Amino acid sequence: MDTRKWAEIDLDTTGFAYPGAALKKAWTALHAGDLEPWPEDKALADGWRAFHAGDFAAAVDAGEAAGNAGHALASKASGIYADYLEEDEAIKQAIYQAGIERAEHAIAAFPDEPNAHYFHAYHLGRYSQCISVARALSQGLGGRIQKSLDRALELAPEHAEAHTAKGLYHAEIIAKVGKLVGSMTYGASAERAIEHFEEAIRLADSPIAWIEYGNGLYLLYGDKKLDESNEAYARAAEKTPIDAMQALDVRFANDSMG
């Protein structure tokens, strides 16, 4: 992936350097959401150091240089970059499509690795949002997302980010096709959505878990749950970020509250 023209993060990330042994010491907290294991390979560890410091281009390059072993790094770094920093819609879609393909290779290489399946669902989900949920469903992407998330959670039941994604999957299906069709055709349920969002918060209590909970509440209930949705955003906004990704999440929550 050509990262040479990627935008730089427009936040102060000096507090997220994690030099030397500091990265391993903070690893469990930094990866409470995705449960990615500590990389023994130094180049991959340095790539993750770049990710947490907000140098997403360098992180993607390090991940891709490692081949399948670096898939999670490349997928997470490219995804966060596309979510928050890329303004060109065509480039954004291309990043998500590359993430889908990368994850498919990772699934073939590591069928029992939770993050291979999680990042497959993640990039499919973000790509679906780009092209519209209705179009994505017509192309069968919903079933693929569900299959990958179910496998990720089967392999790692305490994967907080997969729980968040599964909650959002249920909520977006219901918001688009309604409770009856959503339940009968896709197995979607408002109750299950809330259960997944709450489990993600219990496991990681991260800014993104609260943001997507707020999004899910509004998708499911609209203005009836507007106060609760806004409260979830407020909870995200008050978090103290521990890396660049969380700093972007917190800024997004603050900006969204206007």
Instruction: State the total domains in the chain.
Output: 2
CA-to-CA dists, residue 133 to 56, 73, 127, 136, angstroms: 27, 26, 9, 5
pLDDT recorded at residue 178: 84
What the block records as the tokens of 68 is 């399948």
- Residue 141 within any structural domain of the chain: yes
Altogether, the residues listed in the chain come to a count of 258
Position 258 confidence tier, pLDDT thresholds 50, 70, 90: low
Query: Does residue 181 have a pLDDT over 90?
Result: no
- Residue 15 within any structural domain of the chain: no
Instruction: Identify whether residues 194 and 139 lie together within a single domain.
Output: no
Residue with the larger pLDDT of the pair 34 and 177: 34
Q: What is the pLDDT of residues 16-47, one digit of tens each?
A: 999 999 999 999 999 999 999 999 999 999 99
pLDDT recorded at residue 56: 98
- CA dihedral (24, 25, 30, 32) positive or negative: positive
- Residue 6 within any structural domain of the chain: no
Q: Which of 127-131, 175-179, 230-234 has the lowest mean pLDDT?
A: 175-179
- Residue 16 within any structural domain of the chain: no
Q: What CATH number is given to the structural domain containing 224?
A: 1.25.40
Give me the domain span that covers residue 123: 22-28+35-157
Q: What is the pLDDT of residues 94-134, one digit of tens each?
A: 999 999 999 999 999 999 999 999 999 999 999 988 888 77
Instruction: Identify whether residues 49 and 109 lie together within a single domain.
Output: yes
pLDDT recorded at residue 105: 98
| Average pLDDT in the chain | 94
Q: Please report, rounded to a whole number, the percentage of residues in the chain having pLDDT higher than 70.
A: 100
Q: Distance (Å, rounded) from C-alpha 177 to C-alpha 75?
A: 30
Position 182 confidence tier, pLDDT thresholds 50, 70, 90: confident
191-200: burial string, b at 16+ Cβ within 10 Å, e else:
ebbbebbebb
